[in-house]
Amino acid sequence: MTALVIAEHNNKSLNVATLNAIAAAASIGGEIHVLVAGQDCGAVAQAAAQVAGVTKVLSVDAPHYAHALAENLAPLVVSLAPAYSHLLVAATTSGKNVMPRIAALLDVAQLSDIIEVKSADTFVRPIYAGNVLATVQSVDAIKAITVRTTAFDPVATSGGSAAIETMAAGPDAGLSQFVGEELTKSSRPELAAADIIVSGGRGVGSAENFKIIEALADKLGAAVGASRAAVDAGYVPNDYQVGQTGKVVAPQLYVAIGISGAIQHLAGMKDSKVIVAINKDEEAPIFQVADYGLVGDLFKEVPALVDALGK
Amino acid sequence: MEREAMEFDVVIVGGGPSGLACAIRLRQLAAESGHDLSVCLIDKGSEIGAHILSGAVIEPRALNELLPDWKDRGAPLNTLVGTDRFLFLTETRAIRFPTPPQMHNEGNYIVSLGNVCRWLAQQAEALGVDIYPGFAAAEVLYHDDGSVKGVATGDMGRHKDGSEGPNFAPGMELHAKQTIFAEGVRGSLTKTLFARFKLREGVDPQVFGLGVKELWEVRPEKYQQGLVTHTVGWPMDSKTYGGSFCYHLEDNLVAIGFVTGLNYENPYLSPFEEMQRFKTHPAIRDTFEGGRRVSYGARAISAGGFQSIPKLSFPGGLLVGDTAGFLNVPKIKGTHTAMKSGMTAAESVFELLRAENEPGKEAVDYPHRLKNTWLWDELYRVRNIKPSFHWGLWPAMAYGALDTYVLRGKAPWTLHHHPDHEALKPAAQCREIVYPKPDGVLTFDRLSSVFLSNTNHEEDQPCHLTLHDDTVPTRLNLAVYAGPEQRYCPAGVYEFVEEAGQQQLRINAQNCVHCKTCDIKDPSQNINWVTPEGGGGPNYPNM
Amino acid sequence: MAGIAIPHVTYANLEDEMKILVAVKRAIDYNVKARPKSDGTGVDLANVKMSMNPFDEIAVEEAIRLQEAGKAGEIVVVSVGTAACQETLRTAMAMGADRGILVQSDDEVQPLAVAKLLKAIVDKEQPGLVILGKQAIDDDSNQTGQMLAGLLGWGQGTFAAKVEIGDGSANVKREVDGGIQTIALKLPLVVTADLRLNEPRYVKLPNIMKAKKKPLDTVTPADLGVDIAPRLKLLKVTEPPARAGGVKVADVNELVAKLRNEAKVI
C-alpha cells in the first residue's frame, strides 16, 4: 500500500498545505511518495525529500507543469497511478481543480475534503456546508482523495531523507495556457480563502470603530469578517458577513471580537481550526466554542494585542 | 411606474388552506360546467407550505366535501387522533379535566398543515390552477370606479434605501375579474381593504393569539402516535388567556406549541419565553428528554370568531380564510372553516362570472351562501366562549360550561371583544417577569430558534417592518411600556440597543417569521408590516 | 416600458453559433439547515424546500448573458435525478434557457456517473461550451465539471470569476487561493461557476409561464448506455461534534504566546 501525494508549490518552495496532505497519507499507513511536478522546481523536490515520513520524491520538470494546469498535470498523475493505492492532494483550489480530472480518467470516484481517516478505504468528510459528517467507503482500487488541511496537523518539514527520482515529462496537452495571476498580497485576503480571519460584532459599536478590527487584521495578514449584527447595524458591508446567509469559513485562526456568538455566526465559523474570542461579557456563548477566550474591553485589548504581536 | 400586466379571471392571494380550496373548487366548477376560467394563485413564501404553521389537528369535513377521494390521492392525513387529554396545570401539578365537547377529536387527524397545503397545491395544479410561490402581493390595484382590479407583486432587487439595484425587476400587475384575498391572519393587503371599503364597520375588533410552535423528534419510548394533549393554566396567570397543544404525529415527531392571547396586559410578558418555560413543567418535559428539536416557528391566530367577522365582499373581490377570521376558538380549529369559506367563495365567484363576465362586480351572495353552511352555525354557537375569558380563566371556564351544556350556544346575548393593542398597561403598573435562562437542551433562546425556521430575507432590501413615526419606539414604547416589541416578537426582530448614549430600536428584519404580532400588538399601531421581497421569510418543513 | 429581459431566439439563426450546455442540480435550498436522520442513514429531506443549486443558477445566468451578448446560440439545460428535477429545469428555462433534458433516475447518481451521463449528452448535442456550478451545496463534492472535462479531453476553467469568449479560445479568470488566476483555454471547454461570476436575475412571472411550454426531453441512464452504479458507499451520517470551549487567558501576552507556541497558528 503506497500513497502518492501531489505537492503544491510555486516552483520555489513547498506549500504548507502539502504537509497536511502528507499527514493524512500518514494516517492511512503505508509508504508515502510525493510528486513534485513543475518548472525549475528542484528546490521543491529537495524540500519534499526532507519531509518526515516521505520515502520517495518523484520530480518532473517541464515548462507546461509550471502552473499545475489540470490538463497537463492530470495525465501525468494518471500515468503514475497504477503503482499506488491512494492519490492525495490538499483540498486547495489547485488540488480541487486537478484531482477530479485524475479520478475520472482513472474511472474511480473521488473522496472530497476528507477530515478523518477511518481505514484505508473509509473516510469522514463534511457535507451540507459542514452541518453533516458523512462516513464514506470507496470500492475503487485507487482512492482519489482531497484533504481538508485544517483537519490534519502538518508533518514536520525535516526528518525525512527520501530519494529523489527524476521522471520524464509527459506531453503538453495544448488545451490550456497560464496567462497571469493577480495575487491579493497588498490588500487583505478574501474571506473565503483566508488562513486567518479577524471578525467584529456589534460590540465594536460603529463603522468608525471597525478600524480597530482592521488594524489587527493587517497585523496578522488576515481577512476581515463580521457578524450579522454588525452588518445589520451598518458597520460594514454585506460581503463581510460570516454565518447563516453569508459565508461559511474554516480558517486556521478565527478571532471573534465583540461577537456574542449567535448560532448563525457559530454555524459559519465553527470549522475553524483555532478560535479566539475577545468579549467583555463573560457569559457570551462565543466562549463556549473558543479555544482561547479573553474577557475584556475590546477597545483596550485589541490595540494591546496589536502591540503584543509586534514584539 | 409602468409595470407589465397579466390578465386572469380570478387571482387568489395566498396559498394556505382557504386559497387553495378556493382555487380547486373554481377549477372543479369550471370542469363540471364546461365554462372555463383562468385561476392564478400567488404566495409570498418560497414554495407553497413554506409559511404555513399550525398545530394541527384538523377536522376533515371540508376536505371530504372538496376532494372526497383524498385518501386515494395520497393526502398527508396519516395520524388519526387517539387519546385526547385536557390538563389544567399548576406550577407543579397537572390535573386532568374532562375534555370539553368542542374539543373532541374523533375522526380528526394530526397533520402538518404545511404538508397538507403542499399536497393541495399539487391537486390544484393538476386541475389547471397557475400557482406561483415566491411572489408577494404588495399592492391592491383599483379601477377608476373604485372596484378592485387585481394586485401587483412586489418589486425585486431594490437596495435598502429603495433605489434600484443591478438586478432590479419591477413587480407585475395581475388583473382579475375577481381577486380573492386569502392572506391568512392579519393580511397586509386585507388591512388596507378594511379601511378602504369600511369592512369592519359594525363588527367587533378582531382579536388575536400568538402561537409559538416547535417540532421535536422524541425518543421512541416517549412517543405515542395519535396522542393529543391540551393544557390551560400555568404558566399563564388566571387573567391571561393562553394554553398549549401537544400532538404526536408520525415518525416520532411531536408538535408542541403555546398560544398566548395578545390581549395580555403586562408588557413584560414574553410569549416566546412562556413557551420555553411551559416545556419545563413536570408533566410536559418528560416527553422531550433525550429528543431533539427539529423546527421552530410562530404565527398569529385570529380568535375573534363570529362577532369579529368583517364584511366579506366588495366590488372586485372577497375575503376568505383567516384574513377574515373563521377560527373556531373553543374547538381550536380553523382549517376546515377556512377551506369551507374558500369553497363557498369559489361557488359565488363562479356563478357571478358565469352570469356577468365583467371585472369589478361584487359577489354579494358570498356572505349569504356562507350563512347557509355549517360554518356559520358552528361559529355562532361558540361565539361567547372566547370573549368570556376577558373575565379570567375560572369565570370563563364556568361560563363556557354554562354556554355549552345549558344554553348550547343559543344564549340570547353576544359578548364583545376589545382591541388587543389597547390592552397593555404601563410598565410602571406591572410586575417585571424574570424568565429562566435557556438550557440549550429543552429550552432555547430566540436566535437559535429562528435558526431552525430556515428564515431568510435578501439582506439588501427596504425594511418590511415600517414605522409610521420613528420616535414612537423610544418615546412611547420604551418609556411607558418598557419596550414590549423586544418581548412579543418571537423572532428577535426588535431590539433596543444603546447608541450614542441613547436607547434606540433596531429592527433585524431578516429574522422575521411573518407572524404579524408586531402589526397587531404595537400599543399605538405604529408598526405596519408590509410584504418583503417574494420568497423571503421562513422555510418551514413539516410545520 | 420594462420588457422581458430575455430576447426572442429563433433556432434558424443559431445554427452557426456556439451552443451552450448547462448542468443544473436540484438540491436542498440554501436557506434550509440540513439535519442527519436520527438513525444516521442519511439526511432528512422530507418536505424540505428544494431549489436549484445556487452555483448552477450562476452557471445558467452566465450562459444567458453570453447569449444576450451574441457570443452563444442555443442554451440547453440538463439535470440528472428524479422527475422532480423537471421543476429545476423549468426554473432554468424561466431564467432564459431554451430547452431542457432530464436524465431521469430514482437511484443515487454520484459525480463520476453524472459526468459520464453529461459526456453522453455532450456527444449528442455537440455544445461548444459546458457550464456547471463549481459544486453542489448538498454533497459539496466539487468534482463533476473537472471529471466531465477529463472524460471529454477538454480544457477546464474551474471556479470561474469571469469568462471571455474569443475566437476558438476563451480566457477564464479563476478564483484561486490568494487571488485571481487567468488562463487561456481552447474551445470547446468546460467552465465551473464560482460565486462572483455574476448575480443571477430574478425569474419573472410571464417567463415562468413561457417556460412551461419550452421543450423538455427525458432520457434514462440506460438510454445513454451509462452505468451509474455508485462507487462510494455511505456508511453513516452524523451531526458534527459540538465544539468544546477551551481556556480563558489572562491577557494579550498570554494569548499571543498560546497562539505562537501551543496552537502554532501565527
Least confident of B117-121, B436-440, C52-56: B436-440
Is residue B214 in some structural domain?
no
C49 Rama sector, left if φ>0, alpha if ψ -120 to 50, beta otherwise: beta
Q: Which residue has the cell 354556554?
A: B403
The verdict on a CB contact (< 8 Å) between A129 and C137 is yes
Judging contacts by C-beta atoms under 8 Å, the chain A residues touching residue B506 are 232-233
Considering chain B, what percentage of its residues have pLDDT values greater than 90?
Answer: 87
Determine phi and psi for C122, rounding to 5 degrees.
-60, -45
pLDDT of residue C264: 87
Q: Which residues, other chains included, contact B343 with Cβ-Cβ below 8 Å and sequence gap of 6+? A: B21, B22, B25, B62, B65, B66
- Contact A86/B at CB under 8 A: no
Whether B137 and B185 map to the same domain: the answer is yes
Name the residue facing A245 among B447, B459, B497 (closest C-beta): B459
Instruction: Tell me how close the Cα of A88 comes to any Cα of chain C, in angstroms.
Output: 15
pLDDT of residue A187: 66
Model confidence at B224: pLDDT above 80: yes
Model confidence at C12: pLDDT above 50: no
Model confidence at B100, pLDDT cuts 50, 70, 90, reads confident
- Contact A131/B at CB under 8 A: no
Mean predicted confidence (pLDDT) in B199-212? 97
Judging contacts by C-beta atoms under 8 Å, the chain C residues touching residue B46 are 29, 31, 49, 51
Task: Note the pLDDT tens digit of each residue in B284-335.
Answer: 999 999 999 999 999 999 999 999 999 999 999 999 999 999 999 889 999 9
B109-110 and B79-80 strand pairing: antiparallel
Name the residue facing C204 among B169, B452, B541 (closest C-beta): B169
Task: Note the pLDDT tens digit of each residue in A179-233.
Answer: 999 876 556 777 877 889 999 999 999 999 999 999 999 999 999 999 988 888 8
Residue B404 DSSP label? I
The verdict on a CB contact (< 8 Å) between A274 and C259 is yes
pLDDT of residue B230: 95
The verdict on a CB contact (< 8 Å) between B451 and A228 is no
Interface test with B, best of A132, A202, A264 (most B CBs within 10 A): A264
User: Which residue among B365, B381, B397 closes a domain?
Assistant: B381
**CA A73, CA C11: separation in Å to the nearest integer?**
39
Mean predicted confidence (pLDDT) in B505-521? 95
Bridge partners of residue A89, in order along the sequence: A146
Model confidence at B239, pLDDT cuts 50, 70, 90, reads confident
User: Which residue among B381, B407, B442 closes a domain?
Assistant: B381
User: Cα dist. A219→A235, A305, A308, C105, C179 in Å?
Assistant: 21, 10, 10, 53, 19
Q: Does pTM surpass 0.90?
A: yes
pLDDT of residue C14: 44
User: To the nearest whole number, what is the mean pLDDT of chain A?
Assistant: 93
Looking at domain C11-261, what is its CATH homologous superfamily?
A: HUPs (3.40.50.620)
Mean predicted confidence (pLDDT) in B29-36? 96
Judging contacts by C-beta atoms under 8 Å, the chain B residues touching residue C4 are 4
Mean predicted confidence (pLDDT) in A55-73? 97
pLDDT of residue A250: 87
Mean predicted confidence (pLDDT) in A154-164? 96
User: Which residue among B400, B418, B436 closes a domain?
Assistant: B418
A269-301 CB burial, b ≥16 within 10 A, e <16: bbbbbbbbbbbeeeebbbbbbbbbbbbbebeeb
ipTM of model over 0.95: no
- Contact A263/B at CB under 8 A: yes
Q: Which residue has the cell 498523475?
A: A77
At B19, which CATH number?
A: 3.50.50.60
Is residue B364 in some structural domain?
yes
* Structural domain count, chain B: 2
Is residue B499 in some structural domain?
no
Whether B313 and B412 map to the same domain: the answer is no
Mean predicted confidence (pLDDT) in B219-234? 96
Whether B18 and B50 map to the same domain: the answer is yes
pLDDT of residue B91: 95
- Contact C220/A at CB under 8 A: no
Q: Which residue has the cell 381577486?
A: B179
Is residue B494 in some structural domain?
no
Whether B376 and B391 map to the same domain: the answer is no
Model confidence at B483: pLDDT above 50: yes
Any chains having at least 3 CB pairs less than 8 A from chain C are A, B
Domain of B407 in residue numbering reads as 386-418
- Domain range annotation of chain C: 11-261
Model confidence at B42: pLDDT above 70: yes
Mean predicted confidence (pLDDT) in C67-88? 97
Please tell me which residue, A33 or B401, carries the higher pLDDT value: A33
pLDDT of residue C241: 87
Task: Note the pLDDT tens digit of each residue in C245-254.
Answer: 789 999 999 9
**Which of B141, B136, B132, B133 has its CA nearest to residue B1?**
B141
Model confidence at B412, pLDDT cuts 50, 70, 90, reads confident
Mean predicted confidence (pLDDT) in B403-424? 87
Considering chain B, what percentage of its residues have pLDDT values greater than 70?
Answer: 100
- Contact C48/A at CB under 8 A: no
Is residue B145 in some structural domain?
yes
CA A117 centroid distance within chain: 17
Task: Note the pLDDT tens digit of each residue in C184-194.
Answer: 999 999 999 99
Q: Which amino acid is at A130?
A: G
Q: What angle do CA B98, B99, B102 make, to 5 degrees?
A: 140
Name the residue facing A287 among C35, C158, C245 (closest C-beta): C245
Q: Where are the alpha helices (DSSP H) in chain A?
A: 16-28, 42-50, 70-80, 93-106, 210-220, 228-232, 263-269, 298-310
Class of residue B345 by CB neighbours under 10 A (exposed 0-12, middle 13-18, buried 19+): buried
Q: What angle do CA A128, A133, A136 make, to 5 degrees?
A: 110
Task: Note the pLDDT tens digit of each residue in C165-205.
Answer: 999 999 999 999 878 999 999 999 999 999 889 999 999 99
Model confidence at C16, pLDDT cuts 50, 70, 90, reads low
Is residue B343 in some structural domain?
yes
pLDDT of residue B40: 98
**Which of A156, A206, A160, C135 has its CA nearest to residue B501?**
A206
Q: Which amino acid is at A7?
A: A
**CA B415, CA A143: separation in Å to the nearest integer?**
75
Is residue B215 in some structural domain?
no
Whether B374 and B392 map to the same domain: the answer is no
**CA B351, CA B363: separation in Å to the nearest integer?**
9
Residue A96 near residue C156 (C-beta atoms within 8 A): no
pLDDT of residue B400: 81
Catalytic residue ranges of B: 54, 299, 335, 489, 512, 515, 518
Residue B115 near residue B78 (C-beta atoms within 8 A): no
Whether B140 and B40 map to the same domain: the answer is yes
pLDDT of residue A244: 57
Whether B406 and B359 map to the same domain: the answer is no
Residue B197 near residue B311 (C-beta atoms within 8 A): yes
Whether B311 and B399 map to the same domain: the answer is no
**CA A50, CA A54: separation in Å to the nearest integer?**
8
Mean predicted confidence (pLDDT) in A107-135? 96
Is residue B473 in some structural domain?
no
Instruction: Tell me how close the Cα of B276 comes to any Cα of chain A, in angstroms.
Output: 18
Mean predicted confidence (pLDDT) in B157-186? 96
**Which of B185, B207, B230 has its CA nearest to residue B303?**
B207
Whether B392 and B325 map to the same domain: the answer is no
Mean predicted confidence (pLDDT) in A231-251? 80
Whether B310 and B365 map to the same domain: the answer is yes
pLDDT of residue C15: 47
